[in-house]
């Protein structure tokens, strides 16, 4: 173990475990889970304290389909409960797969899945405006049927028809203290799966569930802040963020200060499609006191930790110090 133990929160997308271009069988999802975790094993071997947050977009979308298929036989479950279910099932896949990979690497680390709640503001306007795409691509016929039932269906950035559900911004991971205690003890914790089960504070009842899906990158940023992580690492399917993505001359961004990143976001030069919440989450973590955040390709996790891959977001003062050393 390292003398100076560092803590990282790693965010892995649900699409990494269930790509849209293949059958979402549990066999395929286990296979992709194992592939996704190869980036984390070296960090565990080096002694990093680790928390893992995963998405659930494809999985919760499939759960909604199962809801509809069986609605004449059993009572359908609300979206918030489906999120809890996916956190358990994906958490199981990650825990089993990571435990096996660590054993193969002769690394004795405990791994646990903790199903977490993400507290949101009950007055968040996002609760009334569905923005998050979930599930597999729909046919025109299926989209028409869902719209007739009051569901929101739109085309995503790739032109695919998908469901859209509310995605409020999390303000707290309710179980963050427990996550922190476990992580500090050396346990690798899979937490806030699917972004956490969305809940709000009810003056009379305490915490109450809400039907939405919290963005996992936002949840990872909140968790990283709450447990005092040194690094937030968001793993995705591209090697870095780019200015002018989709144009003839995209420009790879290796390192940005928070001010630079905010300016590029405001001008629309970065943050296209699904990259926007990732960049926003990275910025928010650093603005909240984090040392740095990095957005990188899944396969490049260890290199990204070493500052050799991906897009780094750093505090303005850190960049100033690097350019003007005392």
Catalytic residues: 14-15, 132, 216, 278
Q: How far apart are the first and last CA of the chain?
A: 32
78's tokens = 């609300």
Query: 211, exposed or middle or buried, with CB in 10 Å at 0-12, 13-18, 19+?
Result: middle
CB 136 within 8 A of CB 20: yes
Chain centre to alpha carbon of residue 115 = 14
Q: Rounded to the nearest 5°, which phi and psi values hold at 286?
A: -70, -40
CB 186 within 8 A of CB 6: no
Length of the chain: 326
Chain centre to alpha carbon of residue 263 = 23
Residues 6+ apart with CB under 8 A from 145: none
């Amino acid at each position: 173990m390292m003398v100076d133990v560092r803590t990282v929160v790693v965010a892995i997308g649900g699409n990494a475990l269930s790509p849209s271009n293949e059958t979402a069988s549990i066999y395929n999802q286990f296979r992709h889970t194992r592939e996704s975790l190869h980036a984390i094993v070296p960090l565990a071997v080096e002694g990093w304290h680790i928390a893992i947050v995963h998405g659930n977009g494809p999985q919760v979308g499939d759960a909604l389909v199962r809801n509809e298929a069986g609605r004449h036989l059993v009572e359908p479950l609300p979206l918030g409960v489906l999120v809890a279910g996916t956190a358990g099932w994906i958490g199981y896949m990650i825990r089993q797969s990571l435990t096996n990979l660590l054993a193969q690497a002769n690394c004795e680390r405990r791994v646990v899945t903790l199903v977490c709640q993400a507290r949101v503001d009950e007055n968040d306007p996002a609760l009334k405006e569905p923005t998050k795409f979930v599930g597999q691509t729909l046919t025109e016929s299926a989209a028409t049927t869902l719209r007739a039932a009051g569901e929101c269906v739109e085309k995503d950035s790739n032109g695919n028809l998908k469901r859209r559900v509310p995605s409020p911004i999390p303000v707290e991971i309710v179980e963050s203290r427990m996550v922190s205690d476990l992580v500090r003890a050396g346990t690798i914790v899979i937490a806030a799966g699917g972004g956490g089960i969305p809940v709000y504070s009810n003056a009379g009842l305490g915490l109450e569930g809400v039907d939405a899906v919290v963005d996992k990158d936002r949840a990872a940023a909140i968790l990283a802040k709450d447990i005092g992580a040194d690094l937030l690492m968001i793993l995705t399917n591209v090697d870095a963020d780019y200015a002018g993505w989709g144009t003839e001359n995209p420009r790879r961004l290796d390192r940005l200060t928070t001010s630079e990143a905010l300016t590029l976001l405001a001008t629309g030069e970065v943050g296209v499609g699904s990259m926007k919440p990732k960049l926003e989450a990275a910025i928010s973590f650093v603005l909240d006191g984090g040392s740095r955040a990095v957005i990188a390709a899944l396969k490049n996790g260890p290199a990204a930790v070493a500052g050799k891959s991906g897009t780094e977001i750093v505090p303005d003062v850190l960049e100033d110090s690097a350019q003007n050393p005392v």
